[in-house]
Structure 1
Amino acid sequence: MNATPGTSYHYLIGVDRELAEYTECAVWIEDINHNLIAGVHDHHICDGQKHPYYAYYVDSDVQYWVHATVYLSLRDDKIRGPYQKRDTCFRIHGNAERWYFDETDCGGGVPQVDQYILVDFLNFKNFPESVNSDAIQPTLNSECFDCQLDESDLNEINHNEENNIE
């Protein structure tokens, strides 16, 4: 991609998570000064069963390194980079005893960007505000993002909303 002067581009960092079942990992991106620019240091399930692909975005001007670690592993963290002004994709696979963090081709077998779970939109300069963003009033009915509700739970939620009960 040829950069037009004064134009800012944003690049994809895609991670295909294929660790053994229930294995936890953390993937994050740091700049040259070791500042966190995307991702988190917290471990989460990375077995690819629920959401196998994660996506992070960075500014075109940022030089960055991609870090990965696996929970309860005795192996060293993996650090890849530096990268700048290009998409990068990775595959984390194996198990806690023996895991790998390989750079992969972002084309071909890698899912399209819309198949990734968007994790971070950090370091975007002049990112446009949503139209009518002041009219959006998010409602959180449950703090459980991975739970099952039965019909009585749903009826109770609907009843509470109708009567403005929190």
Structure 2
Amino acid sequence: MDPNPDDFTDIDAVRRLKANAERLGRPDIADACRRRIFVLGGSDEMLPVERRLWQAVAAYEQTLFEKHGKAQKASYTRRKIKEKGAVQTLSDWAESPKVTPGFKALVDAGMAEFTGEYVVVEFADQFSDEAVAAARKKLVQAGLSESDMPVKDT
């Protein structure tokens, strides 16, 4: 029976499981581990939008980890969140015309739900119409269809 990454609560243990899955040629388990790492990244937050933001940060930091082979904190991003808060940080990401390498990597891996832009669409009622429209546009340009995105409640 294969291990279930959702049973783990320790990020380091999930990373070890992911490394073993990659070594053994099990991309399905490795991808499940990656998702679990992202989810655990926001587990300490009480507010849903903040939880999802920290999951996006965890996703970005995991892409850095995979690129460089060692843990790297997204220091600028963490400082911005501390200074401006979750909603303003996510709005800035959505409204920026720049597509970041982390965004592209997550979309290419089929994990767009861990991008900040997806979080903006998911919690559209907490963001300006401009930020939501910009986030949707960026996601569509990256290849997502409207049906792949959360529906904005009206």
Is TM more than 0.5 here?
no
Q: Greater relative contact order (Cα 8 A, min sep 6): structure 1 or 2?
A: 1
TM-score norm. by structure 1 comes to: 0.22
Structure number with the higher helix fraction is 2
TM-score norm. by structure 2 comes to: 0.23
Over alpha carbons, which structure has the higher Rg? 1
Structure number with the higher strand fraction is 1
